[in-house]
C-alpha cells in the first residue's frame, strides 16, 4: 500500500535482474525536461496511464485486434 511495487521490477536499479523493460527517458525527467535519477513524481502512479494485465474474456464481443 505504501510502496510502488511496479518499481520493484521496473526501476533502473532492478530492471537488469528482473528482465523488465526500463521505462523510457520520458519517465525520468522533470517538467522542464531535465534528467532525474528516479522516476518523476508525475509518473509515479503507473496505473494512471498503464493498465494492469489480466487474462479476461471481453464482456462484450468485438473485432479489435492488437499489435497492428
- Contact residues toward ligand HEC (CB under 6 A) are 4-10, 18-21, 23-24, 26-27, 39, 43-50, 52
For ligand HEC, the closer CB: 5 or 56: 5
Please name the helix (run of DSSP H) or strand (run of DSSP E) that holds residue 9, with its range, or none.
helix 6-10
Backbone angles phi, psi at 29, to 5 degrees: -135, 145
Residue 23 and residue 51: Cα distance in Å, rounded?
15
For ligand HEC, the closer CB: 49 or 59: 49
For ligand HEC, the closer CB: 60 or 64: 64
Amino acid at each position: 500500500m505504501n510502496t510502488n511495487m511496479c518499481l520493484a521490477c521496473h526501476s533502473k536499479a532492478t530492471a537488469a535482474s528482473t528482465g523488465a523493460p526500463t521505462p523510457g527517458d520520458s519517465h525520468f525527467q522533470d517538467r522542464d525536461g531535465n534528467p532525474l535519477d528516479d522516476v518523476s513524481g508525475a509518473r509515479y502512479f503507473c496505473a494512471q496511464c498503464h493498465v494492469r494485465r489480466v487474462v479476461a474474456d471481453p464482456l462484450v464481443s468485438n473485432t479489435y485486434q492488437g499489435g497492428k
